[in-house]
A and B are shown apart, each in its own frame.
Chain A
């Protein structure tokens, strides 16, 4: 039986009728039609489907859509504001942290969540914060560079 679900996604409100067993990932991609959130495994093992749920990074394939009822979701499409990239996005672009790009949305959102709760992570904390996001292309070296660069960009942004 479909039930009504209220979600705020990237600031927009959605009322959708959703079967109770469907995941947040499925609703975002199929019902709402935002395909920036990727499905890499469907089992919470790769992090490609990471979104922010009330500012916390979650694997949206492991969240039942109705668990997110009334909450705020930010997907990769909601990060850039007014045509300007978020500093984390900017850092990923500049540092060459992207190859095929399929892990990128999740990797970027995990980084945003990490830097939100810890604006000055050590290298160890960066590695710990992104362990749930798999990448098969980059070897992660430039992703680590990007997180370090994003840290500086965010700090500069705040001091201005």
Chain B
């Protein structure tokens, strides 16, 4: 493809404001009269609230409001309203350490904190449950006493006859795999400012990935009409899924603002971010895989998801993981059973990969176990079972463009698989491992629709304003959208100004998640820019007395093909205004059409508009003295369809890999009696610059999708296969198979001691 802007590794359009400190994040906002809000949270993981006394707090000088359950609407909320289970404030019982009990608004932070300390709450502690399998047993303490069981949601999927197929297999492996709870740790904590104005309109400034759906969530929680709610975003310090679903600080700040008549800000402390901003769902998985004649013919997976104290995205992550489970390889016989149970812990939510990294850890680890049992090389097994373009898998997934074989080969070659796998030098404990993944490359049709809209406006000086709902939480979607608009319009990237921050301005949209912005919003931007380009062509043709098909627009200059007389685009816009009073603009829509016969409950795999495959290979060295796993290098080959921005695509992959290393080896929320012990960066270690191995990010361009120029989303895939690739490399290094994450030094040392390998 001959392009001017697409595919180039151009600097982000927001790089200069970010590198000079000019970029304003929500947490930087200041408003006249603004009050500081603070939330009083439960110190117990499970207790009855016997009484709340706010009198002393209300009397403190500088306190403007103190509120608890009786002061707010009594509406239950959850992302899925049919599973609603959480009040704004706890009414009669608290269900995890951090649950919202009361809140204050005061003139400054110190006063607000002092006021919290003056609220007296009498609790009666109750037995609590923290282990998801214990929570499912009869007689376990009920997290929600109005429900019969802690098991709160289940799903079953069956394709073919896995029992019969497994009985006929040459080789079968089975095992239990356990993943853990990890935190997103966005550098900017969750925060908001709410202003309930005299016209009864509520404006909320917050760092959100999905302003339009959060607007609905705030409205339904407060029991007000959504026309009265406006959500405004700013530069955003990270998301990774944590800022998709509304946090209770939004309605709390709103009520505090309504009572005080002032804007109210609530900002998480870092400790609140670790303990209440929600986390990755831990999965306990029972998996069986069988092969016959070298082909994977049957898989049987049971996933038990640990919801934490309340519902959020639990059912969606399990459903999504099952779709990816059903698509990665074309396996004719599959059973998937998913269930979700409450525990007295911080609740889960979306987190980069959305259930897929958990399941990929089980499936891709077990595939290596299967290869060993079969006596064949893990790469050979994967190549033999590699998915191909045009395949419809047993569960109905239509595999569009598919570069899986290229990904496997690129990752294996990059890590020098043939030279290193199974080879020992007798001195160091080194090994290589590899894992595959598939993910959506364009969001999903889970809402029963998947669409996007965009507007392009040309100002009379020739610059372009692009209005899109593609939220940029740091992943670079503004730049990708601007590149698409610049390419289509024939202007420079610097001429594009992107607006996406205000629900009053932007078209309704589902938000930035599921690696969907490039595919969905990108297509809408493409259409809007083409619409505006058509209008430019018509105006230029009239002005230059030429045929529209002969009009050339490049880098903001316009001319008739073959002519040396070049005009600034501004002249064309001015002509359109002066001759017809008609400024130039464009609108574009993209509707990801639902397949025939689609219904939300039955369509299952038809939910995904395009799949993105990838393979990562890792080389590790295990230190027998300390048990530490050092990742030496990672080669990450991922499909991008057509790469919109080479540098940014690599950045997504590299960032995903390093989060994946943290997930595999170090990160874990650790509790005692339900209280998180490591609620700071000192105790909850995320990878720092010294932990980073050599990473080679490879973009595999594959055709066959409907994304803009054939592009696929690349936001999430980088994290999905990292943990199993590392676990498989650790096995190659020390011959120990880990079925539980994270693979920490204590576990490694214990395993080495048991194997008699430790010094």
- Give the B-binding residues of A (Cβ under 8 A): 29, 33-43, 45-46, 48, 75-77, 79-80, 85, 89, 92-96, 98-105, 108, 126-128, 130-144
Given A101-B237, A141-B692, residue A134 in contact with residue B686 (CB < 8 A): yes
**Known A-B contacts A85-B19, A98-B15; A141 and B695 likewise in contact (beta carbons under 8 Å):** yes
Q: Is the CB of B20 within 8 A of A76?
A: yes
Given A133-B689, A137-B187, A139-B655, 7 new contacts (CB under 8 A): A35-B21, A43-B270, A93-B12, A93-B15, A104-B19, A131-B688, A139-B658
Contacting pair A100 B20 (CB below 8 A): no
A22 to B21 alpha-carbon distance, docked (Å): 22
The distance in angstroms between the C-alpha atoms of A38 and B236, with both chains bound, is: 12
Ranked 10 nearest A-B pairs via Cβ: A36-B21, A100-B474, A101-B18, A102-B237, A139-B658, A76-B21, A139-B654, A96-B647, A45-B681, A102-B187
B14 contacts partner chain A, Cβ-Cβ < 8 Å? yes
Q: Which residues of A contact B17 (CB under 8 A)?
A: 101
- Residue B269 CB within 8 A of the other chain: yes
Min CB gap A21→B, angstroms: 9
Q: Is the CB of B651 within 8 A of A36?
A: no
In the complex, 21 of the A-B residue pairs with CB atoms within 8 angstroms, ordered by the A residue number, are A33-B30, A36-B21, A39-B27, A42-B270, A76-B21, A79-B20, A93-B12, A94-B11, A95-B647, A98-B14, A99-B651, A99-B655, A100-B186, A101-B18, A101-B474, A102-B187, A104-B18, A134-B187, A136-B185, A137-B187, A141-B697
The answer to whether the Cβ of B601 comes within 8 Å of any Cβ in the partner chain is no
- From A41, A92, A96, A133, contact of B651 by CB (8 A): A96
Give A95 to B651 CA distance when docked, in angstroms: 10
* Given contacts A99-B655, A101-B237, A102-B238, A127 and B689 within 8 Å (CB-CB): yes
- Chain B's nearest CB lies how many Å from the CB of A3? 17
A136 adjacent to B21 (CB under 8 Å): no
Q: Residues of A contacting B499 with CB < 8 Å?
A: none
Assess whether B648 is interfacial by the CB under 8 Å rule.
yes
- The reply on B113 being an interface residue by CB < 8 A is no
Contacts A42-B270, A43-B682 known; A101 to B658 CB distance under 8 Å? Answer: no
Tell whether, in the assembled complex, residue B9 and residue A96 are in contact, meaning their CB atoms are under 8 Å apart: yes
Q: Cβ of B650: which chain A residues have Cβ within 8 Å of it?
A: 96, 141-142
Q: Which residue of A lies closest to B662 (CB)?
A: A136
Do the beta carbons of A77 and B690 come within 8 Å of each other? Answer: no
- Shortest CB-to-CB span from B705 to chain A, Å, is 24
Question: Are B22 and A36 in contact, with the CB atoms below 8 A?
Answer: yes
Give every chain A residue within 8 A of B658 (Cβ-Cβ). 138-140
- Give chain A residues whose Cβ lies under 8 Å from the Cβ of B682: 43, 45
In the assembled complex, the Cα of A134 lies from the Cα of B658 at a distance in Å of 12
Are A144 and B689 closer than 8 Å at their CB atoms?
yes
Residues 579 to 621 of chain B near chain A (Cβ within 8 Å)? none
Say yes or no for B473: interface residue by CB 8 A criterion. yes
CA gap between A48 and B25 in the complex, in Å: 13
Contact yes or no, A100 B473, CB < 8 A: yes
Say whether, besides A41-B270, A134-B686, A139-B658, A93 and B651 are in contact (CB < 8 Å).
no
Shortest Cβ distance from B267 into chain A, in angstroms? 9
B residues 668-704 near A (Cβ < 8 Å) are 680-682, 686-690, 692, 695, 697
With A and B bound together, what is the CA distance between A137 and B472 in angstroms? 13
Binding site for A on B (CB under 8 A): 9, 11-12, 14-25, 27-28, 30, 184-188, 235-238, 240, 269-270, 473-476, 647-648, 650-651, 654-659, 680-682, 686-690, 692, 695, 697
User: Given contacts A48-B187, A142-B647, is CB(A101)–CB(B692) below 8 Å?
Assistant: no
A40 to nearest B CB, angstroms? 5
Looking at the assembled complex, report how far the CB atom of A150 sits from the nearest CB atom of chain B, in whole angstroms: 12
Contact B648 A96 (CB under 8 A): yes
B654 surroundings in chain A (CB, below 8 A): 138-142
Q: Which residue of B lies closest to A129 (CB)?
A: B689
Decide: B681 and A96 in contact? CB cutoff 8 A. no
Partner of A89, one of B20, B25, B188, B688: B20
A45 CA / B680 CA spacing, docked (Å): 8
Interface centre among A33, A48, A89 (most CB of B within 10 A): A89
A54 CA to B680 CA, complexed, in Å: 29
Pick the contact of A101: B9, B184, B235, B689 (CB < 8 A): B235
Taking a contact as CB atoms under 8 Å apart, the answer to whether A80 and B20 are in contact is yes
Question: CB-CB < 8 A to B476: which residues of A?
Answer: 99
Q: Do B187 and A100 have beta carbons less than 8 Å apart?
A: yes
Most buried by B among A38, A95, A100, A135: A100
Instruction: Specify which chain A residues have a CB less than 8 angstroms from the CB of B473 in the assembled complex.
Output: 100
How far in angstroms is the closest Cβ of chain A from B194? 20
**CB-defined contacts of A141 to chain B, threshold 8 Å:** 650-651, 654, 692, 695, 697
A100 vs B648: C-alpha distance when bound (angstroms): 12
A139 with B695: CB separation less than 8 A: yes
Which residues from A are CB-within-8-Å of B657? 139
| Residues in B whose Cβ lies below 8 Å from that of A102 | 25, 186-188, 237-238, 474
B27 to chain A, nearest CB (A): 7
CA distance A144 to B27 in the complex (A): 28
Contact A100:B236 (CB < 8 A) given known A76-B21, A93-B16, A93-B19: yes
State whether A101 touches B23 (Cβ < 8 A).
Answer: yes
Considering the chains assembled together, what is the distance between the CA atoms of A34 and B689 in angstroms?
Answer: 27
Cβ-neighbour of B14 out of A38, A95, A101 (below 8 A)? A101
Contacts of A96 in B (CB 8 A): 9, 11-12, 647-648, 650-651
Smallest Cβ distance from B614 to chain A, in angstroms?
15
* Residue of B with least CB distance to A76: B21
Contacts of A138 in B (CB 8 A): 651, 654-655, 658
- Smallest distance from the beta carbon of B356 to chain A beta carbons, Å? 19
